[in-house]
Structure 1
Amino acid sequence: MTPPSDTPASRRVRANGDGTVYQRKDGRWEAAGYVLAPGNTRKRIRVYGSTRTEALAKLTERIATSNRGVPVPSAQGSVSAYLTYWLEAVAVHQLRENTHTRYTACVHQHLIPGLGKKKLAKLTAKDVRTWLNQLRTTCQCCARAIDAHRDQPRCCAAGTCCSRRLSPLTLAYIHSVLKSALEHAVREEEITRNVARNVRTGTPRPRRFEPLTADEARQLLAAARNDGLFALYELALRTGLRKGELLGLQWGDVDLSAGTASIRRTLQRTQTGGLTTLPTKTRASERRIALPIECINSLKEHREGQEGERDAAAGGWKESDLVFTTQAGGPIDPANLNRGFRSLLGRAGLRRIRFHDLRHSTATLLLEQGVELVVIKELLGHAHIGVTATVYAHVRLRLQRDAIDLLGRTLRNPNRPDDGDDPPLCAPAVR
């Protein structure tokens, strides 16, 4: 009888459940065994190596992972195929249309060109990090052949690279889209882990905004007094409503006798439906706010003016119950509101800001008046108070400065004469 040590490696008997290992005709070693698969089933897999030890190590690792309850990945296709499936079958039912459009552009412009050819199951954190580093230093005119479609080339086609690179905020957005897609692949047990979550891109610097001061806000309202949308601008500045929430506000949502307004919808332009009324951004955005007396009066004047426009339009009036409409009664396009707002800034002699900065101005002015952060959070419709605290951190620092100065005056020695030469209680104001 031949001793076990002399038995050829390809014919050795392994214990039940350890799988089989044998040498192929081409010289490579193959190991096969059963592991846990999605749906609580078992699946036979095969791994290969140049030596018996290598093949056996790979199989042992797969079996050990399976014994911990982690199913083997079932994904066989490429990242490109999965991203296409995710956009068309999953994300389209979970996202707003405009958000889905931005996701689609991100996938086709950046994710598929950069990672699309890789196998989904074999994608690693190193692949994602290497691609993001490359994307961070690549000129977009060169990568996307933007210059080739211009009437007068001024970058790659002209022989001089403009070094148009993606901003840190855009890189973070691209990274977040990839994380969302891979997270769904984990939930469907296509892959075992989300490798994009293991990549750190750094926290991008938040977009800087310059809210209006109290004097500038009064200057803006004075310039808008004779504007047909004066009530809209005043409501935006005094309540901090979003642009879509203002344009989607209906008279049925406004109770002028009680001085309240219910925010239930938003008006947006979509590619398929044009100007469309949609639910609010989040559940927290659906709220009821108190109207200042100035807004109540301006809304009453606005309703009288709107009734006059309805009589003048006669049969051409489009009944929509919207508070703010065109002269024909139709909804106002957000792009047209932006143009009108820029014109108003010019008439008021103010610096150019975004319409959304009126919302920031409201929160900033309220914080400077000592209004509690939780009250501002409810007024603005933020989902979490942390969002309010993060966005307006610069104001909180300035309030801390005032608090420190107040404490300094309290702790000052009353017996010490004030010679007027003391240094200021604190450093200059934080911006």
Structure 2
Amino acid sequence: MSRTRSANGRSSVYRDSSGIWHGWVSMGRDEKGKPVRRHVRGRTRAVVSERVADLERERASSAGLAAAHRRPTPREGPPRRQTLGEWLDEWLVLVKRSRKPRTFTTYDALIRTHCQQLRSVKLHEVTVRHIDDLLHHVATTVSPTTAGNLHRTLRSAFTVAVRRGLVSTNPCRYATVPRVAHVEVEPLSVAEVHRLLSIAAGERNAARWAVALALGLRQGEALALQWSDIDLENGTLAVRRQLQRHPWEHGCVESEPRHPPAECPQRHSGGLRFDDTKSGAGRRVLALPPQMVPQLLDHRRAQAAERLAVGSAWEDHDLVFPRPGGGPADPRNDHRVWKRLLARAEIREARLHDARHTAATILLAQGVDGRVVMSLMGWSQAVLLTRYQHVMDTMRVEAAAKVGTAIWGD
């Protein structure tokens, strides 16, 4: 093993006898004054050096590191240690400032519902065992899916705590996450799609369901569509935003109001609002199937007649699928219409999001490349394709049969 000893506190990179490269980075000292060092490894020096540089940048960005380990003067006394609950409250403020409202609402609900028993534990005393027990309790009393969501939330909170020097390690990195049973995607069949669209043809905003089943737009994306996003002449549709319900906030001066924010007389910041897409990949331009262009033209003419009947009371948001009167459609009412259409078409119970699964399945079944499907659906992670493994397997069998026919004949 070749190794060059570095001065105290300096990073070191070396290669062992088996050819694996290692890197050690000093991250400071823990609450007992002992050095804290992080280890990385890889097959090449370049890879390890890059990871070491990342750790050094993490160390440099930990603005609170020096203050956290500074020895107090006798007059100051020992520093007060922050509890987990206090840190989670502080971290949620950061989330609220930097993330989307729905993300904050989800994190806040998970922490408020499931972390009460650990709030009084000192942040630096939270162990892997604490996290394991908490996740097991949530998995058995609620669901493994909720436990997994809680684990990701706490892991994010502890990651920021490590960067700020409040703790030396992230206990969530080593916790045992309950296994979530694989749920097979159940899209509608092509025959069911035909039947549902036939039933929807007599409904207001009938083209809404053609957009859902053929293009796979998320509900918020479809309800936020504007006519300026659609080019019927060239047959394109651009997804640029989504409609989301923001949580209400208190506007009263009471320090601990007894009523919920939604019932506050001075409530603010809530209700239906337009947001950016779910991710960067969500901003995309789609080609319209030629058969959909006449449907959208008919829909625009019907909407013009409706607008003329309403007159000056029409709320002009340029929306493609507004509620009567022109304002943004309530997602809950949109969901009710979907359920009613399923019942009228005598189709099994299905979520509105299953329309999106149906569009992805039809694309894959038609032999469209997975990377193209990712782009059309606005997915940012290739792992989402694994949910359609049954379709992919069928395509592989068909491809093998075609190869066999080409080489050996029928």
* Residues 1:121 and 2:121 aligned together: no
Give, as a single letter, the amino acid of the residue that structure 1 aligns with 2:122: K
Distance 2:348 2:312 in 1: 41
Q: 1:66 to 1:207 in 2, by over 3 A?
A: closer
CA deviations over 1:229-264 (Å, ceiling 9, x no partner): 211101111111111111000011111111111111
The residue aligned with 2:164 is 188
5+ residue gaps, structure 2: 1-7, 9-25, 40-55, 60-64, 70-79, 249-269
1:193-242 deviation digits (Å, cap 9, x = unpaired): 11111112144224443101111111111111111121110111111111
1:108 aligns with 2:108: no
Equivalent residue, structure 2, for 1:241? 217
The match for 2:88 is 83
The answer to whether 1:351 aligns with 2:333 is no
Q: Which of 382, 397, 403 matches 1:401?
A: 397
Instruction: Give the partner amino acid of 1:198.
Output: Y
TM-superposed deviation, 1:411: 7.2
Letter in 2 for 1:133: H
Distance 1:255 1:198, change over 3 A: same
Change (3 A) 1:168 1:408: farther
Structure 2 CA distance, aligned partners of 1:278 and 1:319?
A: 18
C-alpha separation between the residues in 1 aligned to 2:159 and 2:207? 45
Find the counterpart in structure 2 of residue 306 from structure 1: 303
Structure 1 residues 132, 320: closer, same or farther in 2, change over 3 A? same
After superposition, the Cα gap between the structure-2 partners of 1:99 and 1:230, relative to the gap in structure 1 and judged at 3 Å, is: same
Structure 2 contact 128–175 (Cα < 8 Å) conserved? yes
CA distance in 1, matches of 2:390, 2:149: 24
Partners of 1:413 and 1:86 lie apart in 2 by 65
2:273 to 260, 273, 276: 276
C-alpha change, 1:81 and 1:304, in structure 2 (3 Å) is same
Q: Bigger shift: 98-107 or 386-395?
A: 386-395
C-alpha distance in structure 1 between counterparts of 2:37 and 2:213, whole Å: 59
Residues 368 and 395 in structure 1, CA contact (< 8 A), matched pair in contact too: yes
Q: Is the 8 A contact 1:211 1:364 kept in 2?
A: yes
Alpha-carbon spacing, 1:225–1:413, altered in 2? closer, same or farther (3 Å): closer
Q: Do the aligned partners of 1:77 and 1:120 also contact (CA within 8 Å) in 2?
A: yes
Tell me if the contact between 2:135 and 2:178 (Cα under 8 Å) persists in the aligned partners: no
Give 1:334 deviation, angstroms.
0.6
* SS class of match (1:349): coil
Q: Which residue of 1 aligns with 2:47?
A: none
Q: How big is the shift at 1:65? A: 3.3
What is the 5 A alignment of 1:196-345? 196-272=172-248, 273-345=270-342
SS at match of 2:280: coil
In the superposition, relative to structure 1, how do residues 354 and 83 fare at CA in structure 2: closer, same or farther (>3 Å)? same
Deviating 4+ runs (over 3 angstroms)? 62-75, 134-137, 206-209, 403-414
Does the 8 A contact of 2:135 with 2:150 survive in 1? no
Q: CA deviation at 1:125?
A: 1.0
Aligned AA (2:395): L
Equivalent AA in structure 2 for residue 65 of structure 1: V
Shift of 1:67: 11
Where relative contact order (Cα < 8 A, 6+ residues apart) is larger, the structure is 2
Mapped partners of 1:225, 1:119: distance in 2? 60
What is the identity, as a one-letter code, of the residue corresponding to 1:347?
R
**Displacement, 1:342?**
0.5
User: Conserved in 1, the CA contact under 8 Å of 2:220 and 2:243?
Assistant: yes
Superposed, which structure 2 residues align to 1:16-95 within 5 Å? 62-65=33-36, 76-88=81-93, 90-95=94-99
Cα 1:189–1:264 shift into 2, 3 Å: same
Please say if residues 211 and 360 of structure 1, whose CA atoms lie closer than 8 Å, have aligned partners that are also in contact.
yes
Residues 174-183 or 122-131, more deviating? 122-131
- Does the CA-based 8 Å contact 1:373-1:388 persist in structure 2? no
Q: How far off is 1:315 after superposition?
A: 2.0
Aligned length: 332
SS of the residue aligned with 1:281? coil
**Equivalent in the alignment of 1:380:** 377
Q: Would the alpha carbon gap of residues 124 and 67 (structure 1) be closer, same or farther in structure 2, given more than 3 Å must change?
A: closer
Residue range with higher mean Cα deviation, 387-396 or 224-233: 387-396
Could you give the per-residue CA deviations for residues 27-60 of structure 1, whole angstroms, max 9, x where no partner exists?
xxxxxxxxxx99x8x99x7x6xxxxxxxxxxxxx
Query: Is residue 2:338 matched to residue 1:370?
Result: no
Matched-pair contact (CA < 8 Å) for 2:237–2:287: yes
Q: CA deviation at 1:114?
A: 2.7
What TM-score do the two structures reach when normalised by structure 2?
0.75
Matches within 5 A, 1:147-162: none
Distance between the aligned counterparts of 2:220 and 2:409, measured in 1? 54
- Partner Cα distance (2:409, 2:337) in 1: 56
Listed one character per residue, the Cα deviations across residues 311-332 of structure 1 (whole Å, up to 9, x for unaligned) are 1111221111111112211111
Secondary structure of 1:289's aligned partner: strand
Amino acid at match of 2:88: L
TM-score by length of 1: 0.71
Which has more radius of gyration?
1
